[in-house]
Amino acid sequence: MEKTTFQKWITSDIPNNQYFFLISLNISRHFWEQYYFPQIKTKFKTNIVYRVENEKTWKEMEAERMLPKLFPEKEIILLDGISEKGALEIAQKKSIPDNLIFLFLNEGELTKPWTNVTIIHVGFGEKEFYQWIGKTAGEKFSGLPAAVIKSLYKYWREYNLSEEDIMGFIRQTELLPKRTPLDVELFFEKSEKTLLFRFLDALSDRDTQLATKYFCSLQKINYPSSLLVSMIARRFRLMAQVLITGVENQDLWKKNRVSPFEIRKIKTYSKKFSPSEITNLFYALRHMDRLLKTTNSDFSILMLDFIDQISVRTPTLHPQLKQSVSSLNGI
C-alpha cells in the first residue's frame, strides 16, 4: 500500500498497470469538485466520467464497462458512495481494461486490508489555498498580505466557507488602505455561518456561557428559529450515530454533507456525552419544536432553557423516550 499526497501524485508518472486509486478526502466536496477533480481529468486526458454511488449501479454497468473495446477512450469510474468492501472487490479484480481508471472517494477510516493500491491524501493546505485564491480572485488578489491569506485559510478550514464567502471579504474590503488579519476576524465573526458553527461547537463542548453568547449574536441577525433547532438536531444526531452505534459511516457523512473538519469535531465532542444524555437532549429539542409550532412561546426563553440543560449530567434515560438512535429523526 503506497501513500502519497495529491500534489506529488498529480505531477508523477503513473505505471500503465495501475488502474485503481483510493482518494482520501480531507477537504469539502465543493473544493474536490472545483479544484482537484478537474486536474485528474486533465492528467488522464478525458472528460468521460461515470459516477457510481452504490454497488447496484456498478453491477448494472460492470458487464459493459469491462468488455474490451476496439477504439477505447480513457474513462474515469468515480466510486462515490459505494462501500469500502465493494470498492476493495473491484480493486482486487485480475483483469481490467486498460482504458478504465477507478477512483474510490473515502472520507472515513479504512477498515479493510488494502494492498497494491495507491492511497492519495487530498488536503487543502495553505499553499494550495494560496494558489486557489490567487486564481479565483485575479487582480484583487495582488493586494492581499500573506498574514491576511493565512487568516482567511484558518476561517475557510474551520467553518467550511465557500468561494463566495472568501470573495465576499475580498470585495467588501478592497477599498481599505491596508487589510489585516483583524479585518478578516471582524468580517467573519459577524457572518451567519461562523456564528452558527461557533454556537453549535459551544453546545457540543457543553460550554453554556459561550453558547449563550453566540445564541444572542444569532438572535441579533434574526437567524430563523426553526432552522436553528433543525441545525442543533442535525449536530446531535450525528454525534449520536458516532456515540451510540459506534459506526464509522461514510454514507452518514455524505448524506449530511459533513466536511472532514466537522467530522473530526463531532468525533471529539461525542465523547463528552453519554447515550442517555444525547437522547434526553433530543426529547428536549422535540418538546421545544412542538411548543414553537403549536403555541406562542418565546423562542429565546426556550433556547436559553435548552442551553442550561446542556450542562446537566443525566445518567438515566428520559422515561418517555426509551428508544434507539434510529428514532431520533423527528425534528
CATH code of 296's domain: 1.20.272.10
d(CA 14, CA 20): 11
pLDDT > 90 fraction of the chain, expressed in percent and rounded: 24
What is the pLDDT at residue 183?
Answer: 92
CB 162 within 8 A of CB 30: yes
Residue 200's domain comprises 192-327
Q: In terms of domains, do 321 and 204 share one?
A: yes
At 262, the pLDDT band (50, 70, 90 cuts) reads confident
Tell me which of 122, 142, 176 is where a domain ends: 122
Q: What's the pLDDT tens digit per position in 266-302?
A: 888 888 998 888 888 888 999 999 999 999 999 999 9
Neighbour count for residue 318 (Cβ, 10 Å): 15
Q: In terms of domains, do 197 and 165 share one?
A: no
Which residues touch 67 (CB under 8 Å, ≥6 apart)?
97
Q: What's the pLDDT tens digit per position in 46-94?
A: 999 998 888 888 888 887 777 777 777 888 999 887 888 888 888 888 7
3-state class of 201 per DSSP?
A: helix
pTM of the model: 0.61
Which residues touch 209 (CB under 8 Å, ≥6 apart)?
none
Q: In terms of domains, do 118 and 39 share one?
A: yes
Q: In terms of domains, do 136 and 222 share one?
A: no
* Residue 280 in grid coordinates: 434526553
Tell me which of 134, 164, 189 is where a domain ends: 189
pLDDT > 70 fraction of the chain, expressed in percent and rounded: 86
Burial of 143 (0-12, 13-18, 19+ CB in 10 A): middle
Tell me which of 189, 222, 237 is where a domain ends: 189
Number of structural domains the chain divides into: 3
What is the pLDDT at residue 320?
Answer: 45
Average pLDDT score over residue span 149-155: 88
Q: In terms of domains, do 174 and 227 share one?
A: no
Q: In terms of domains, do 200 and 273 share one?
A: yes
Asked if residue 121 has pLDDT above 60, the reply is: yes
